[in-house]
Amino acid sequence: MDFSYPADVEAFRTEVQEFLTEHVTDAVLEEVDTGTVHSDDLHKAMAAKGWLSGAVPTELGGGGMSPLKMSVLIEELQLFRAPIDAMGVAIGMASIILELGNDFLKGEVVPRLLSGDALGAFGYSEPESGSDVAAAQTKAVRDGDEWVINGQKMWTTMAHVADYVILLTRTNPDVPKHKGLTFFIVPLDSPGIEIQPVWTMGYERSNATFYDEVRLDDKWRLGDVDGGWNVMKTALKFERGIAGGQFYSPPLIDATIDWATDAPAPDGGAMIDDPGLRESLVRAMIDVEVCRCFAQKTAYLADTGAPFGVEGSMTKLFASETFKKHSHWFMDAMGPDGLVKRVEGDGPHVAFVEETFRHAPVTTIYGGTSEINRNMVAEAHLGLPRARR
Ligand SMILES: Cc1cc2nc3c(=O)[nH]c(=O)nc-3n(C[C@H](O)[C@H](O)[C@H](O)COP(=O)(O)OP(=O)(O)OC[C@H]3O[C@@H](n4cnc5c(N)ncnc54)[C@H](O)[C@@H]3O)c2cc1C
């Protein structure tokens, strides 16, 4: 395997770095204080750069950005701590509609998503179904040319600022669970939708969304009636493609080094000279390099057209679990300093380690939990027997 990137990918990295240096300002980072990991200005600037439409596959009418460039883009966005919750949803939702949607959805929704004028949200999880997403109970019942939707979704992140949700519903309760599902694109200003905030311990805002007799014309249906599982598989394919690199830890390592450079050590000198902390920092840096190798291999496989699902699981699993571990190490190393919370008026870099400590666990849950990813690796890579469901 060649670990270097082709010249055009490196040139793209430089372009991304220049763009992010200009656009990820302290004001943009401070927008995350609202709990919503999104900045309208940054999102629209990325759309104007052509990176949203560029990420949609060529055969669907997009720019067909290569997986290598995509992984470099995600890596740099993460290294700059750019708030980009809306990006993956826009690219994913537009790609799914372009592959499986009708002409109405292609004309009405896709251009708005890819220009950054409209935002989307994923409405898969429910209070009783997350990992087992096919067990969704939110009901859609046909009434002439319309559908009537009733139910509740959980963790509909971005719903409070989004225009559309891609909603997984049950249209047939009398067949095996994977066979009775149907997807809709639902305008979030439809009568009967209520959105309530749900806060994580990392102060991120997600939502519980309630659907009470929500009426939708059939033109908002995405894919075949009871064919929702095919749509789900397409959605996961695009989600894995977008989730290229996973570089959670580098900003945490940088913040710890910043702190340690000035913090006094108990026996004199600065904490940066403490052998225990130095070892933790180096081990964390090694983990980041391992992560980079996983992410590079995933992108390389995708670039050559090979299956990359299990490598995507390995990358996400390793990156999120080591991130959580690093956040514990550095909180411990900081002692009482690690408990200092940001107060109003502080810049976004203050108390970053404390905030990361509260945020890191959630990265092992969303986008597929560590246990589910371990199952994938055990079955698809190690050839172990299928886990009992
Ligand atoms: C902050 C946040 C944002 C999110 N955003 C969205 C969003 O925008 N849209 C959306 O639809 N969803 C979203 N989710 C939901 C997320 O995808 C689910 O939380 C996740 O898939 C786990 O589902 P669950 O919470 O129902 O837990 P469960 O599936 O009930 O799992 C509970 C525990 O059991 C384990 N487990 C479950 N099944 C197995 C198995 N087969 N083998 C071994 N262990 C298993 C899990 O790993 C976990 O530890 C978000 C979640 C969070 C926390």
| pLDDT the model gives residue 145 | 97
**pTM for this one?**
0.94
Ligand 1 binding pocket includes 372 (Cβ within 6 Å) = yes
CA–CA distance, 229 with 211 (Å, rounded to integer): 21
Q: Whose CA is nearest to atom 6 of ligand 1?
A: 155
**Using a 6 Å cutoff on CB, does residue 389 contact ligand 1?**
yes
The DSSP bridge pattern shows strands 164-170 and 221-222 to be unpaired
How far is residue 97 from each of residues 12, 59, 105, 107, 110, measured CA to CA in Å?
Answer: 28, 13, 7, 10, 7
Q: β-strands 120-123, 164-170: how paired? A: parallel
Tokens matching residue 125: 């999880």
**Whose C-alpha lies nearest to ligand 1, atom 36?**
371
Please give the C-alpha separations between residue 119 and each of 95, 160, 188, in angstroms, as whole numbers.
14, 10, 10
Best residue among 132, 366, 374 to mutate for probing ligand 1, ranked by most atoms within 8 Å of CB: 366
Is 236's C-beta closer than 6 angstroms to any atom of ligand 1? no
Which is nearest to 79 in space by CA: 252, 318, 319, 326?
252
**Residue found by looking up tokens 């027997």 in the block:** 385
Ligand 1 atom 40: residue of nearest CA: 372
Superfamily of the domain at 120-234? Butyryl-CoA Dehydrogenase, subunit A, domain 2 (2.40.110.10)
Give CA separation, 127 vs 140, 206, 219, 245, 279, in Å.
17, 13, 28, 29, 42
Q: Is residue 320 lining ligand 1, measured as CB closer than 6 Å? A: no
Find where tokens 């033109």 sit.
Answer: 219
In this structure, the residue with its CA closest to atom 51 of ligand 1 is 366
Q: Whose CA is nearest to atom 17 of ligand 1?
A: 366
- pLDDT value of residue 298: 87
Whole-number pLDDT of residue 241: 57
Ramachandran category for residue 101: left, alpha or beta (phi over 0 → left; psi -120 to 50 → alpha): beta
CA neighbours closer than 13 Å in the CB half-sphere of residue 373: 21
* Regions in the chain scoring below 50 on pLDDT: 244
Distance from C-alpha of 22 to C-alpha of 94, rounded to nearest angstrom: 27
Residue among 119, 129, 131, 165 to mutate when testing ligand 1 (max atoms within 8 A of CB)? 131
Structure tokens at 33: 């204080």
54-88 burial, b at 16+ Cβ within 10 Å, e below that, comes to: bbbeeebebbebbbbbbbbbbbbbbbbbbbbbbbb
| Cβ–Cβ under 8 Å, residues 320 and 312 | no
Tokens of 176: 């095996």
199 lines ligand 1 (CB under 6 A): no
Tell me which CATH homologous superfamily contains domain 243-381.
Butyryl-CoA Dehydrogenase, subunit A, domain 3 (1.20.140.10)
- Gap from CA of 142 to ligand 1 centroid (Å): 29
Fold exhibited by the domain 7-114: Butyryl-Coa Dehydrogenase, subunit A; domain 1 (1.10.540)
CB 162 within 8 A of CB 188: yes
Q: Where are the domains of the chain?
A: 7-114, 120-234, 243-381
Q: Residue 66 carries which side chain, given as an amino acid letter?
A: S
Average pLDDT, the chain: 93
Q: Name the phi and psi angles at 146, rounded to 5.
A: -115, 170
CA 50 / ligand 1 centre spacing (Å): 32
The CA 316 to ligand 1 mean position distance, Å, reads 14
